[in-house]
Amino acid sequence: MSLSVQTNIMGQPVFHAFVEQGPAWPMTSWDVLQQKPIEVNFMEVGKLLERVHERKELLLCTIRSSQVVPIYPFLTQMQAGGFECIHVLTCDANTYIITFAAFSPERAMGSFEAGIARLASERSLVGVSRTFIDTDVRRWWTAVLESTSACHLNIYQDHVFSRLDRELVAISDEDRMRFLSRIITALDDRGYEGAAAVIDQVFNQIVEHNYRIEDVAELSSQVLLAAVGLKAGSGRDRLVQLPLSTRQWLQYVAKQCPKWWDWRDRLKQSLMVIMGREEALTSAHSAQIGQVIQVIESNYDSDLDVASLAARVFLSPSYLSKRFKSETGMTIREFIVQTRLNKAKDMLLHDFHLKAYEVGAHVGYPDPTYFNKLFKRQVGLTPKAFRDRAVRQSLGIHESE
Instruction: Check for a shared fold between 2-166 and 284-401.
Output: no
Quick one: fold of 2-166?
A: Alpha-Beta Plaits (3.30.70)
Quick one: fold of 284-401?
A: Arc Repressor Mutant, subunit A (1.10.10)
Residue 82 one-letter amino acid: G
Mean pLDDT over each residue of the chain, to the nearest integer: 81
pLDDT tens per residue across span 306-353: 988 988 887 788 888 888 887 777 889 888 998 899 899 888 888 888
- For residues 184 and 222, what is the distance between their CA atoms, to the nearest angstrom? 10
Question: Quick check: 263 and 155 in contact, CB under 8 A?
Answer: yes
Contacts of residue 51, defined as CB under 8 A and 6 or more positions apart, other chains included, come to 86
The candidate with the shortest Cα–Cα distance to 289, out of 250, 264, 262, 271, is 262
Question: Quick check: 274 and 192 in contact, CB under 8 A?
Answer: no
Statement: the pTM of the whole predicted model exceeds 0.85: no
CA 197 to the chain's CA centroid:
27
Give the residue, 329 or 133, on which the prediction is more confident: 133
Strand partners, 128: 61, 163
The candidate with the shortest Cα–Cα distance to 156, out of 31, 260, 265, is 260
Give the residue, 26 or 293, on which the prediction is more confident: 293
Residue 54 one-letter amino acid: E
- For residues 359 and 362, what is the distance between their CA atoms, to the nearest angstrom? 5
Q: What is the DSSP letter of 225?
A: H
> What average pLDDT does the segment 248-267 reach?
90
The candidate with the shortest Cα–Cα distance to 99, out of 43, 60, 71, is 60
Tell me how far CA of residue 372 lies from CA of 297, 315, 344, in angstroms: 21, 34, 11
Angle between helix axes 332-350 and 317-328 (nearest 10 degrees) is 60
Which helix (H) or strand (E) segment is 125 a member of? strand 124-128
Domain extent listing, the chain: 2-166, 169-277, 284-401
pLDDT tens per residue across span 42-72: 889 999 999 999 889 999 999 998 888 888 8
The whole-number pLDDT of residue 228 equals: 84
> What average pLDDT does the segment 217-225 reach?
94
Q: What is the DSSP letter of 236?
A: G
Round the CA-based radius of gyration of the chain to a whole number and report it: 23
- For residues 39 and 5, what is the distance between their CA atoms, to the nearest angstrom? 7
Question: Quick check: 251 and 232 in contact, CB under 8 A?
Answer: no
DSSP 46-78: HHHHHTS-TT-EEEEEEEEESS---HHHHHHHH
> What average pLDDT does the segment 89-95 reach?
85
